[in-house]
Amino acid sequence: MPDPGGTTEPSLQQLRIFLTLGEELHFGRAATRLHMTQPALSRQMKDLEKRLGVVLFSRDSRTVSFTEAGRGLTEEARVTVEAMGRLRLSAAHWGRSLAGHVVVGTIGAEAAMPYTRAILEHLSASQPRLTVEIRSLNFIDHLAQLLSGDIDVAILRPPVPAGIELLELATEPRVACLSVTDPIGDLAKIFLTDLGDRVFVDVPPEVPRVWWDFWAMDPRPDGTRVRYGPVVSDMEGLLLAVARGDGMCFLPAAARELFPRPGVRYVDVVDLSPSVSALGWPVQNRDRPGVRAVRAAASAVADSGRGRTPPR
């Protein structure tokens, strides 16, 4: 029976258990998802109900269902769990700043680009006590981890969703990345109209569409929509899909040197807009010590023109 006089607050673990059981409405499946035994899950739920003073689920030998109170408290529990997650991320971010540690995310070959090396060299000279961790990320993670605070800053390729500020580092052309079996690859240069309705490699729905629409040039200048094919989440998957002839893509011109692959060729596209490289950071974190240090280094590099020459 619930204890209306109970005043002990529930634990975060108990709220997670409550939410998981609410999604599954099955003790066995919920226990499996949570990597715990069913009896342990049942004990935690009974203790949570005692602490809250209400019954959250109706149970019998066959079914589990929400009580009215359980359904009503679900959103409050979810908000609490998410808020605690944000608190932990923020604390970790501040902990890194106070410890003189900054995490720089990169995508593709950004870690190998001249401007990245120049920024790291400037940081080493101007902030010798600051430790820098470089974290290579895929198409899904690079923006998600920046917005969540898992990384402090990222060297990336815009466009980006709202909530991220940018400092431009360099600009370079984009090229078509095609299978060697595609006859158009024999040309020295092409126009967008030469591509016809060729299939374009796609990315998972978790990737902000504004980002991939730019990289797919979707829609094309004449309003034509792009046909999409295989879904990939990182550079190696993308290049493999192209090499297999499953689709094509556009990449920065530096890919010629940084991503040579059997079965893939790169062709100049005369009327394709260029790509910008930028340092990005969450708007709300711009003045945190680690972010401020990287911003200052990137600004100095950008002002000096260092790092604007693509790799040879």
Fold identical between 12-92 and 174-273? Answer: no
Domain extents in the chain: 12-92, 100-165+278-304, 174-273
Beta carbons within 10 angstroms of residue 172's beta carbon: 18
174-273 under CATH 3.90.320.10, yes or no: no
Percentage of the chain surpassing pLDDT 70?
93
What is the separation of C-alpha 194 from the centre of its chain, rounded to a whole number of angstroms? 33
- Give per-residue pLDDT as tens, 55-112: 999 988 778 999 999 999 999 999 988 888 777 777 666 666 555 889 999 999 999 9
pTM strictly above 0.75: no
Distance between CA 181 and CA 205 in Å, rounded?
A: 29
pLDDT for residue 298: 97
Distance between CA 30 and CA 98 in Å, rounded?
A: 39
Q: Which residues contact 15 (CB under 8 A, 6 or more apart)?
A: 48, 77, 80, 81
What is the C-alpha end-to-end distance of the chain, expressed in Å? 73
pLDDT for residue 96: 60
Region 12-92: CATH code: 1.10.10.10
- CATH C-level class of 100-165+278-304: alpha beta
